Amino acid sequence: MPAIVVLVKNVPDTWSTKTLNEDFTLHREGVDEVIDEINEYAVEQALRIREANPGHEVIALSAGPFRAQEALRKALAMGADKAVLLSDAALAGSDVLGTAWALTSAINTLGDVQLIVAGNASSDGAMGALPGILAEYRQIPSLTNLSSVAVADGVVSGVKEAPEGSYQLQASLPALISVTEKTDKPRFPNFKGIMAAKKADIAVLTLAEVGVDPSQVGLANAATAVTAAEPRPERDGGEMVYTDGAERIYQFIQEAIK
């Protein structure tokens, strides 16, 4: 059966305080985690594509520790057919290149994958590079930052929004897409879906089972590294201007460009 793989990620809750470990990785232990909100939009698009193309199945895929199963269960509750977790201690600290390599290797085990759906950028890393790297590894077209998506007759199409304008894109399957929060709002799981997700079996794969050598992933083998970090400065109250606003703006710009 042709498959639509949707990538999901367990991330620290948006309202939680985020801190870094000594090696500059994000501290996750003991922090409330949830499915990344943008992934809910990706799941919604995967489900809508399945509804418009009967005979396909939606497989939710995540990479991370066992607690990442919570994100997968949310995808199942929304309506995904299956869930797969790639979990291995050697994955810890992987950069985007290593993560993409591990994910593409896991996808190779999932059968006839015709479409990969991802969010445009995770809320914890915010790089937005993984979809493009994953498509490059797989040598398939990538349509990124889409605000609308449609799949019909073996072709995926969508509207890509960029600062300079909007573009209508299309590509033949197999392909990869990433979506933004301007796509259809995620559905709320119903009670039946929630209960089924709680009982569902989630397949857990190791690096060995997907053919990835530990030397290709992990913090010690990352091709990129964070060498320094500092807290974001607190926002001040700014300056309130009640009269002669245009003149004050002109002065502010002149001072800034000196």
- Average of per-residue pLDDT across 228-252: 77
Cα 138–Cα 218–Cα 100 angle in degrees, nearest 5: 15
Q: Under CATH, what is the fold of the domain 3-257?
A: Rossmann fold (3.40.50)
Per residue in 159-202, pLDDT tens?
Answer: 998 888 899 999 999 999 999 999 999 999 999 999 999 999 99
What are the structural domain ranges in the chain? 3-257
**Is there a contact between 76 and 203 (Cβ–Cβ < 8 Å)?**
no
Per residue in 38-59, pLDDT tens?
Answer: 999 999 999 999 999 999 999 9
pLDDT over threshold 80, residue 236: no
Where does the pLDDT of residue 23 fall: very low under 50, low under 70, confident under 90, or very high at 90 and above? Answer: low
Supply the pTM of this predicted model.
0.83
Sign of CA dihedral 221, 224, 229, 233: negative
Sign of CA dihedral 225, 228, 234, 240: negative
| Angle between helix 130-138 and 96-107 (nearest 10) | 50
Q: Which residue's structure tokens are 């890509």?
A: 160
